[in-house]
């Protein structure tokens, strides 16, 4: 299951969703399966396909404890008796991509889905994943190009972060029309003004706003 398949490989070899016997091995980063959220996605149908594909990935060892479920020495210092990332479960199930879309998209009676303007919940592990995808889609799509520090914290230790991030970029492309707004804004901040293509969200340009619309109170520190 550690072999990364080449793009274009058919997905019928996708691993099943049950933890396998190699699960005690160290976390291996992106596991088998096609890249989720590839640039070949086309609109909402592609987004749904990517969401379903996410759900078919095999469970993975916790990236924090390496499938032991035990707290690190540092975690113990803070009083943890089990790994605080996986709650001692040692594995993370595949993300439920369809549930994530349901949590972060709003159709509002229109024909085209839109990214919700209000933040989804972020209490449970599953909710934290949805929050991460929502926030990273806002980041790449140019709704909020401040650094998504809270979202990154919420999925710390989750071995599916790479896939969730790619999924967020796909969501940005479909709902915002681009996944490059933050890249342009931060490139400009780091390397000085460079000619940017027209038609990007205002947040992509050096003098533009950082956030379009509301920002959750919990993310206020990201603007400091």
| Listed ranges 36-44, 55-63, 106-114, 214-222: which one lies at the site for Zn ion (CB under 5 A) | 55-63
* Helix axes 125-141 and 181-191, enclosed angle (nearest 10): 60
Q: Does 125 bind Zn ion (CB under 5 A)?
A: no
Closest contact distance (angstroms) between CB of 89 and Zn ion is 7
Cβ neighbors of 199 (< 8 A, separation 6 or more) are none
- Three-state SS string across 142-176, please? CCECCCCHHHHHHCCCCCCHHHHHHHHHHHHHHHH
Distance CA(36)–CA(53), nearest Å, equals 7
Cβ atoms within 10 Å, residue 124 = 9
CB half-sphere exposure, 25, CA atoms < 13 A: 13
Closest contact distance (angstroms) between CB of 14 and Zn ion is 24
Q: Does 65 bind Zn ion (CB under 5 A)?
A: yes
Among 60, 64, 129, 138, binds Zn ion (CB under 5 A): 64
Closest contact distance (angstroms) between CB of 68 and Zn ion is 7
Closest contact distance (angstroms) between CB of 66 and Zn ion is 8
Closest CA to 125 of 148, 156, 102: 156
Q: Count the residues of the shown chain that bind Zn ion, applying the rule CB under 5 A.
A: 6
Distance CA(176)–CA(141), nearest Å, equals 5
| Listed ranges 10-18, 75-83, 136-144, 208-216: which one lies at the site for Zn ion (CB under 5 A) | 75-83
Q: Does 85 bind Zn ion (CB under 5 A)?
A: yes
Closest contact distance (angstroms) between CB of 154 and Zn ion is 15
Closest contact distance (angstroms) between CB of 63 and Zn ion is 8
CB 168 within 8 A of CB 130: no
Furthest CA-CA distance within the chain: 53
Cβ atoms within 10 Å, residue 90 = 22
Q: Does 86 bind Zn ion (CB under 5 A)?
A: yes
| Listed ranges 62-70, 113-121, 127-135, 191-199: which one lies at the site for Zn ion (CB under 5 A) | 62-70
Among 36, 51, 59, 62, binds Zn ion (CB under 5 A): 62
- Of 66 and 208, CB closest to Zn ion: 66
Q: Does 83 bind Zn ion (CB under 5 A)?
A: yes
- Interface contacts to Zn ion, rule CB under 5 A: 62, 64-65, 83, 85-86
């Amino acid at each position: 299951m550690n072999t990364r398949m080449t793009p274009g490989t058919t997905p019928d070899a996708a691993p099943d969703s049950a933890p396998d016997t190699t699960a005690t091995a160290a976390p291996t980063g992106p596991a088998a399966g096609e890249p989720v959220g590839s640039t070949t996605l086309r609109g909402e149908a592609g987004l749904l396909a990517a969401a379903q594909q996410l759900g078919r990935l095999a469970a993975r060892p916790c990236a924090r404890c390496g499938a032991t479920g035990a707290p690190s020495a540092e975690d113990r210092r803070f009083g943890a008796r089990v790994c605080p990332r996986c709650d001692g479960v040692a594995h993370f199930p595949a993300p439920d991509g369809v549930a994530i879309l349901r949590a972060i998209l709003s159709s509002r009676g229109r024909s085209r889905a839109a990214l919700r303007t209000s933040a989804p919940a972020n209490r449970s592990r599953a909710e934290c994943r949805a929050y991460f995808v929502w926030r990273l889609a806002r980041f790449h799509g140019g709704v909020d190009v401040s650094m998504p520090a809270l979202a990154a914290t919420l999925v710390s230790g989750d071995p599916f972060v790479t896939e969730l991030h790619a999924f967020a970029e796909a969501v940005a492309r479909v709902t915002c029309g681009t996944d490059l707004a933050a890249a342009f804004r931060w490139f400009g901040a780091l390397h000085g003004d460079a000619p940017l293509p027209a038609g990007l969200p205002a947040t992509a340009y050096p003098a533009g706003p950082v956030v379009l619309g509301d920002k959750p109170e919990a993310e206020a520190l990201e603007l400091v």
